[in-house]
Amino acid sequence: MSALERLEEHRSFDGVQYKYRHYSKVVDCPMTFSLFLPDKEKFPEPPLLWWLSGLTCTDDNFTHKAGAQKAASRLGIAMIMPDTSPRGEDIADSEDYDLGQGAGFYVNATEEPWASHYRMYDYILEELTELVRSEFDLTGPEFISGHSMGGHGALVLGLKNPNRFKSITAFAPIVNPSQVPWGVKAFTNYLGEHKEAWAQWDALELLKQHSGKQLPILIDQGDADPFFNKELKPKLFMEAAEEMDYPVTLRMQEGHDHSYYTISTFIEEHLTFHMSFLSK
């Protein structure tokens, strides 16, 4: 396999939507990602939005369903959408939708059989970053966003790297995975039984321990989301932010659920939110 293989190319508004495959040394398997680039003549040095998707998703879900290309084209934002886990016949997996392939949780696993491949944090933060900077010259400001499990990932990567990202947004994020069924299951398998090791991958714990640079955060949560009370609990995050005087905005969206219908409704506002902090 070549270092970078182009799988798809589609004209979209004034930009181009791509899909690529490459071999990742970090997760030790082929990985795909999608990339939107706005018009190069209008925006020769665009900022880059990292989008992290949720359970069962691939890089295609946001690309196909969110409808973000129109606003990104107008605002001059490049967008990269990684896959949600390593994949392949030789990669550890589970019959459960919320563990294994499609459910990497954006952590570096320490427990076998997961530790050999499930290192999505390092893959995104280091390897894929180096690739998009070198191959596409995307070296400008960066934002990070995500949905559900990907909202958890966006909060964790953003809070752990405040000097890299300008802002964070999330749709229906898992804010306290150490205390909810999705997160407990994933963390027990990927990180082991010792819960003190979980805190570095828990957005609520990272927020409570945070000192130094603060990133503006926007969270949209539908009040008709079936996972709201059991798995997501964004109000816990908001309460901690208020205690710390950390700039978090939580918007409860009436009648909205956990689907991409909600994401497509508000994604332009998220992109505009990110862009508003470029000059600050």
Structure letter (DSSP) for residue 230? I
Architecture of the domain spanning 5-276: 3-Layer(aba) Sandwich (3.40)
Q: What is the mean pLDDT of residues 219-234?
A: 97
Q: What is the pLDDT of residue 56?
A: 98
| Portion of the chain with pLDDT greater than 70, in percent | 99
Burial class (CB in 10 A: 0-12, 13-18, 19+), 54: buried
Q: Per-residue pLDDT for 1 more than 50?
A: no
Half-sphere exposure of 141 (CA within 13 A, CB side): 15
Active site residue: 59, 83, 220, 225, which one? Answer: 225
What count of other Cβ atoms lies within 10 Å of the Cβ of residue 225?
A: 21
* Domain assignments of the chain as residue spans, ordered by start: 5-276
Q: What is the pLDDT of residue 2?
A: 52
Active site residue: 22, 152, 256, 258, which one? Answer: 258
Q: What is the pLDDT of residue 278?
A: 86
Place of tokens 């901690």: 240
Q: What is the pLDDT of residue 27?
A: 98
Distance CA 210, CA 222 (A): 27
Q: What is the mean pLDDT of residues 73-88?
A: 98
Strands 48-52 and 29-37: unpaired
Active site residue: 148, 152, 202, 220, which one? Answer: 148
pLDDT one-digit tens code per residue, 153-169: 999 999 999 999 999 99
Strand-pair partners of 76: none
**Residue 3 binned pLDDT confidence (cut-offs 50, 70, 90):** confident
Q: How far is CA 276 from the centre of its chain?
A: 20
Q: How far is CA 77 from the centre of its chain?
A: 16
Distance CA 141, CA 263 (A): 23
Q: What is the pLDDT of residue 212?
A: 87
pLDDT one-digit tens code per residue, 181-192: 999 999 999 999
Q: Per-residue pLDDT for 279 more than 80?
A: no
Structure letter (DSSP) for residue 119? B
Ramachandran region, residue 8 (left: φ > 0; alpha: ψ -120 to 50; beta: rest): beta
- Per the annotation, the verdict on 148 as an active-site residue is yes
| Portion of the chain with pLDDT greater than 90, in percent | 97
**Residue 220 binned pLDDT confidence (cut-offs 50, 70, 90):** very high
Q: What is the mean pLDDT of residues 20-41?
A: 97
Backbone angles phi, psi at 208, to 5 degrees: -65, -30
Distance CA 53, CA 73 (A): 21
Please give the model's pTM, rounded to 2 decimal places. Answer: 0.97
pLDDT one-digit tens code per residue, 38-54: 999 999 999 999 999 99
Distance CA 56, CA 230 (A): 19
Distance CA 112, CA 108 (A): 12
Q: Per-residue pLDDT for 280 more than 70?
A: no
Residue 88 · residue 180 · CB < 8 Å = no
